Amino acid sequence: MLKEAKRKRWGVVWLFMFLLASLPLTAGLYAPVWAVPKLQIYIPGATYDTDTETWIMESLEYDLWVIGAQEEIFDVKIALAVSTDEDGTIDITWVDGTSSEPSYNSTGVATRIAGNHDLLHEGTGDVYLDENYKFVSYGTPVMGDGTSVPPHGVFPTSYYEYMVGDFGLGETVMNFIPGEEWGDTAVGETKVFHVNVGEGYTWMDIVAYDHIVKTNHKIHSVFSPFSHDGGSGDGGQPPSEVIPEPASLLLVGTGLIGAGAVGRWRRKR
């Protein structure tokens, strides 16, 4: 009896130590819900859908805020995902005077040229190929460290990728999720764009992403969490299931591994 009791106690202790060791893996994912994320998207006048955790705008013309916080973020891009079986146009204009001008973009306008997925038209100038603005007929955006943006039930699909530049720390920003906006604030920067989706697209999903540089010069990618992304058009979301956020998946995974390991330990006895 005494030996069996000791085995059970050690099994519980082992499980506790395992879960404790897994905390560093989840520390970056489990900030308080009211904390300001490193990247987020906000659409003034939109409704926040708690089921899909997305800002929903029925209109296809709206202002889009991209907000960086906590650290300098470099080469930030936004991907505007659309359906692969639809064809339309999108105009994105930087709103002058609201933020610093986007990198590599002297006019603030990028428009797809009909009939060619690679050529983009900037302002009223000549048509030319520019890697900073592109349309991908089917795929998933890639972040600064070479990893892909998580699918979230949207990617891979067709998407526009638009460079919005670096984000500094000269402003005070907040979490825009309803009920959480009176929580923490952080230093960061907000850039505002006017989005006009032409005929042809019935929905769009938007995510912001790229990278920060750590003190050891290591590239660390960041993206707007799915609770802080945006969508517009027919409900703002494609007809797909919402995928749990990485933190939820990781927590479930560590719990199952721990339980399984303890079960194996007991069976061996």
pLDDT tens-place string over residues 165-219: 788 888 888 887 776 555 678 899 988 888 888 778 888 888 888 767 665 656 6
Q: How far apart are CA 88 and CA 96, in angstroms?
A: 26
Which stretches does DSSP call E strand in the chain? Answer: 39-42, 47-49, 54-57, 61-69, 73-82, 90-94, 109-112, 120-121, 127-128, 133-139, 157-167, 171-174, 185-197, 203-213, 219-223, 229-233
pLDDT band of residue 80 (cuts 50, 70, 90) is confident
Instruction: Give the Cα separation of 43 and 63 in Å (integer).
Output: 6
- Of the candidates 182, 179, 137, the residue with the CA atom closest to the CA atom of residue 156: 137
Q: 115-132, pLDDT tens digit by residue?
A: 333 333 333 333 333 444
**In whole angstroms, how far apart are CA 52 and each of 151, 207, 235, 237, 240?**
14, 14, 10, 8, 10
Q: Residue 215 carries which side chain, given as an amino acid letter? A: T
For 70-90, what is the mean pLDDT? 85
Could you tell me the pTM of the whole model? 0.62
